Structure 1
């Protein structure tokens, strides 16, 4: 496990998010393994297989006018030719433009993610992505208040 390997995985992870920000579907396809891959978007069921996973990203990109990821708490673990990256995705996104041509309202969201990479002859490729939403304190407080007797 060398520092160079960790840097390469960090770069592959960053490239994954930058590619989504640019909406570059062709580049995104090249980041995934050709093998059996899997993906869980927040609130979605498990998607299996390259075709199903890539279709989901095509749908997301087609319906998201603007998205930006601010990654925090990034941690990389390596074992042989497999790397595990955990991070928090601080996401800012906006819907399709309204009639006046302006971007729809921006929405912030926190998602914790696990990205699994495998080393290939072409570099580190994504094997699996799993994103899970994080409840904010306000949302958690609402749930607790709703559950408590009046």
Structure 2
């Protein structure tokens, strides 16, 4: 249980990406709600539900230590008094890889509880490489 009281969804999101960059499992789990209904979807991976399962996925991801630098851009925010949704583009830079990769689209959902704001969902999906293939090809959404 984390004693940190995040006062805004923005604080939670900053702490989330800082923990991700440092591969810091305890800091990562401090941003999450302790409810069992939390959800996490890593790029190209299945949906994970529940605190223990979410912790396990981050533990596996962090096993090899810090290796990511992530910058976010094009943030779209929808917020109310007890819930907020942030949609961002994550620009991921892998340690030792100078190649420019397409951004990852992420949705982060936060709720306000008795102990401040916490994350309840993180869903990250790869975007298509719009520079590869036929630039005139139609883009299918569904």
Q: How far apart are the structure 1 equivalents of 2:133 and 2:83?
A: 35
Question: Cα distance 1:118–1:66, how it changes in 2: closer, same or farther (>3 A)?
Answer: same
| Superposed structure 1 runs of 4+ greater than 4 Å apart | none
Matched position secondary structure for 2:43: coil
Give the aligned length. Answer: 128
The alpha carbon displacement at 1:114 in A equals 0.4
Query: Any gaps of 5 or more consecutive residues in structure 1?
Result: 1-6, 95-103, 145-150
Q: Does 1:138 align with 2:131?
A: yes
What is the alpha-carbon root mean square deviation over aligned residues? Answer: 2.0
- The structure with the larger Rg is 1
The alpha carbon displacement at 1:9 in A equals 1.5
The alpha carbon displacement at 1:63 in A equals 3.2
Work out which structure has the larger RCO, using CA pairs closer than 8 Å and 6 or more positions apart in sequence.
2
Equivalent residue for 2:27? 27
Q: How far apart are the structure 2 equivalents of 1:67 and 1:134?
A: 18
Matched position secondary structure for 1:57: helix
Equivalent residue for 2:60? 59
The alpha carbon displacement at 1:122 in A equals 2.2
Query: Any gaps of 5 or more consecutive residues in structure 2?
Result: 1-6, 138-142
Query: Taking structure 2 as the reference length, what is the TM-score of the superposition?
Result: 0.81
The alpha carbon displacement at 1:121 in A equals 2.6
Question: Residue 40 of structure 2 contacts residue 123 of structure 2 at CA under 8 Å; is this kept in 1?
Answer: yes
Q: Does 1:86 align with 2:87?
A: yes
User: Whose helix proportion is higher, 1 or 2?
Assistant: 1
